[in-house]
Amino acid sequence: MGLGAGHVLGTWFLEFVPAANRGTWVVVFHCTWTFGTILQALIAWAIMPVLGWRWLIALSSTPCFILLIFYSITPESPRYLCSRGRTADAQFILERVAIMNNMALPPGILIVGPQIRSINAFRTLVSRSLIRSTLLLWFVYFAFCFAYYGIVLLTSELSNGARRCGPVGMHLWQQNDARLYRDVLVTSIAEFPGLILAALLVDKVGRKLSMGAFAFLCLVSIAPLAAPLEEGLATVLLFSARTCITGSYAVLYIYGPEIYPSSCRNTGVGVATSLGRIGGMIAPLIAVGLLESCHQKEAVFVFDLVLFFAAVACALFPLETKGCQIQ
């Protein structure tokens, strides 16, 4: 249930970032995910062999309780306040932002735009002017989520060079394998180069080209894994793949909200994110199911095929936002 707030957080954050610097700051914002991933790998390495998965889950929930403390001091979305007729509250928040940045608000008054219901927002997503972008965005979210979690699972499945095919239950002993935790940690650190590259490229070469290039490079990194490889080389390839898929995902988090008008932006990103989670649910069937049944080549082929079509979809997007938002 908690994942449902993820896309809302990104949309909220965009409201407080100037358009000229949005690409870079959203990538910086995305670093928090990477920090959490690395911390999770370290905790698992320390806790799992000693206390087991129940304690791992319990400790992993701690940040959620800490997060509750910050809700009382988190400013509400000015756009949301305006949509509810609370323009005075929205004005107060904008004035606080201006004071904190040693700036003055431009002259004028806040105007409340037309209200739009959820069902009408969805109709806008599939309207003639947006249907192409919507369908492409749905698939790209699905593909990137599928590839991201697939790479994470491939790391655990390939971390033991002596792995033998068989039922999943036969390989539970791998949870205590130090090489598994080491490889997961190394590939998690790979997200930082991906975020740095995304920050450098997103506002210079554009969203579409950045996403497509990252997806293609991820495809190239995964392809050699179809054949049995030496452990060190496999880790390097997984490191590269994790770098590329993280970069593509970071750019997508910027591009997705920008292609929709503000009236349906949160709905559009929410629906696309939901379809992406379906990709995350299917990923274990491929990464774990096929590898456990000795079909490593087929598993890699499926991931490469999805990434290929994702790169094509990025090229077919009709809009290149470059930091602009449709109002």
**Range picked from 63-67, 140-144, 171-175, 178-182 for highest mean pLDDT:** 140-144
Helices (H), the chain: 6-14, 22-51, 53-60, 62-70, 78-83, 87-100, 118-125, 131-158, 178-189, 191-201, 207-222, 231-258, 265-287, 289-292, 296-316
Nearest to 12 by CA among 266, 283, 210, 236: 266
At residue 15, what is the residue type? E
Nearest to 147 by CA among 265, 306, 289: 306
Nearest to 292 by CA among 171, 166, 173, 150: 166
Q: Provide the residue ranges of all domains of the chain, joining segments of one domain with +.
A: 116-164+171-316
Q: With bands split at pLDDT 50, 70 and 90, how would you rate the model's confidence at 2?
A: low
- The distance in angstroms from the start CA to the end CA of the chain is 30
Q: Is the confidence at residue 132, as pLDDT, over 70?
A: yes
- Residue 299, C-beta contacts closer than 8 angstroms, at least 6 positions apart: 154, 286, 287, 290, 291
Q: Is the confidence at residue 302, as pLDDT, over 50?
A: yes
Q: Give the pLDDT confidence score for residue 115 in this predicted structure.
A: 58
Q: What angle in degrees, to the nearest 10, is found between the helix axes of 178-189 and 191-201?
A: 10
DSSP letters along 70-100, please?
A: HGGGSPPPHHHHHHTT-HHHHHHHHHHHHHH
How far is Cα 48 from Cα 29, in angstroms, rounded to an integer? 29
Q: Give the pLDDT confidence score for residue 164 in this predicted structure.
A: 52
At residue 186, what is the residue type? V
Distance of CA 11 to the CA centre of its chain: 13
How far is Cα 131 from Cα 251, in angstroms, rounded to an integer? 21
Question: pLDDT tens digit string along 202-220?
Answer: 878 888 899 999 999 999 9
How far is Cα 137 from Cα 318, in angstroms, rounded to an integer? 11
How far is Cα 200 from Cα 191, in angstroms, rounded to an integer? 14
How far is Cα 146 from Cα 304, in angstroms, rounded to an integer? 11
Question: pLDDT tens digit string along 87-98?
Answer: 888 888 888 888
Is the distance from CB of 134 to CB of 316 less than 8 angstroms?
no
Both structure tokens of 224: 């050699």
Q: Is the confidence at residue 3, as pLDDT, over 60?
A: yes
pTM for this predicted structure: 0.76
| Third-level CATH fold of 116-164+171-316 | Growth Hormone; Chain: A; (1.20.1250)
Q: Which residue has the higher pLDDT, 2 or 75?
A: 75
b or e along 3-27 (b: 16 or more beta carbons within 10 Å of the residue's beta carbon)?
eeebbeebbbbbbebeeeebbbbbb
Both structure tokens of 234: 């496999």
3-state secondary structure 164-184: CCCCHHHHHHHHHCHHHHHHH
Question: pLDDT tens digit string along 39-85?
Answer: 888 888 888 888 888 998 888 888 888 878 888 788 888 888 887 88
